[in-house]
Structure 1
Amino acid sequence: MKGLFKGLIGLAILGFLVAYFGSPFLTVRALVAAAETGDEPALERLVDFPAFRDSLKDELTARLMAEAQADPRVRDSGLGGLGMIFGPMLVGGAVDALVNAPTVAAMVRTAEVPDPTDREPTPAAEDRGADIRQTYGYRDMNTFAVRLTDVERPNQTLKLLLTRQGMFDWKLTGIDLPEG
């Protein structure tokens, strides 16, 4: 009887650990399925849009500032400094207006961030038969990264960051943009 009790306790602990460490994989599967089917209500449940927008604003603002600092024409001109002041506001407004469930679905399906300044968008990756590779991994106990790579652009990996919400729930809360 004592052995049975120890076995049940061990089984319960094993079940807890599997659920605890396996739960982000289930969330990723649900996120990809919702993106592929265009299930907006599911995406609304799986994405923390305010946190995701803030993360994207930070990424785009950092990229904008780095590009401005690297260009001597912008860095040394008075208007360049003005652009560096107003640039983050413009980025923030664009991100707030454009990031929604269909945009996140497109990011997951194509492994690329839509360009809001592109007047004539190129055909979406799904239209050209994109093969998106997914790799996963924990960054820490409460952050899980999903790396999306289009095989046609192997050096352009988009990283989506999920954050633990409670014991077993995860939400998409951040993004790391590809270099360049």
Structure 2
Amino acid sequence: MFDSLSERLRDRLKSTDKKTIITGAAVSAGLVAIVSGGAYYAPYLTLNNIKNATEHRNADALSQEINFPELRVSVKENIKAKILKQTAKDSTIRSPELTPSLVDKIVNPIVDELITPAGIEKLMLDKVPEAKIDLSYLETDLNKSNVTMGYESIDRFVIRIIDKVDRTKDVSLILKRDGFLAWKLSAIDISKV
């Protein structure tokens, strides 16, 4: 009688252990799927936050989505490359006068002032007339463009905006991971322009 009872109890414990293990594995798999999905879609959420902040001219919200030190370096490099490229093509500008160090002296302070939370606010509120941001044509411009986006690596997400009509307007926005789930706009690439 005790042998039969102990066998039934042992069988019951074995089946309970299997159920517990299966339930635990299912819950764990579900959590991994949720975290993985959240990690995968996090840059899309950041891009949506940037779009909403821009549409509503909310400089504070936009500033939270930007890695200012990295963005400043990126913008400086892009502007310098563009200036030097145009100088090389334009025969009316004598290239010895416009050296890379002179370009640095001109570009660096301007970019340092504009690519800050306060600078972004000034740009969005049109307080810098020479660098006015006109968002009224944004939707039309995007409709005339091919927008592709995706991961280049586990820590780098790129949004490419390719103008269908004028390839000189092509631009890439680069988001980089900032922590586990957070992403920030860290670079803008206009080097193909």
TM above 0.5, yes or no, is yes
Paired residues for 1:69-148 under 5 Å? 69-71=88-90, 74=93, 77=94, 80-84=95-99, 85-99=101-115, 100-102=119-121, 124=134, 126-127=136-137, 130-133=140-143, 134-148=147-161
| Cα deviation code 1:113-153 (max 9, x no counterpart) | x995x8xx7x9351586241543111211111122356664
Report which of the two has the higher share of helix.
2
Amino acid in structure 2 at the alignment position of 1:83? L
Amino acid in structure 1 at the alignment position of 2:182? D
How many aligned positions are there?
Answer: 165
- Tell me how large the CA RMSD over aligned residues is: 3.1
Q: Aligned residue for 2:55?
A: 36
- Aligned partners of 2:43 and 2:89: how far apart in 1? 38
Q: TM-score, normalised by structure 1?
A: 0.76
- Aligned partners of 2:37 and 2:67: how far apart in 1? 25
- Aligned partners of 1:125 and 1:30: how far apart in 2? 16
- Aligned partners of 1:71 and 1:154: how far apart in 2? 20
Gaps of 5+ in 2: 1-18
Query: Which deviates more from structure 2 when the two are superposed, residues 31-40 or residues 64-73?
Result: 64-73
Q: TM-score, normalised by structure 2?
A: 0.71
Amino acid in structure 1 at the alignment position of 2:98? G
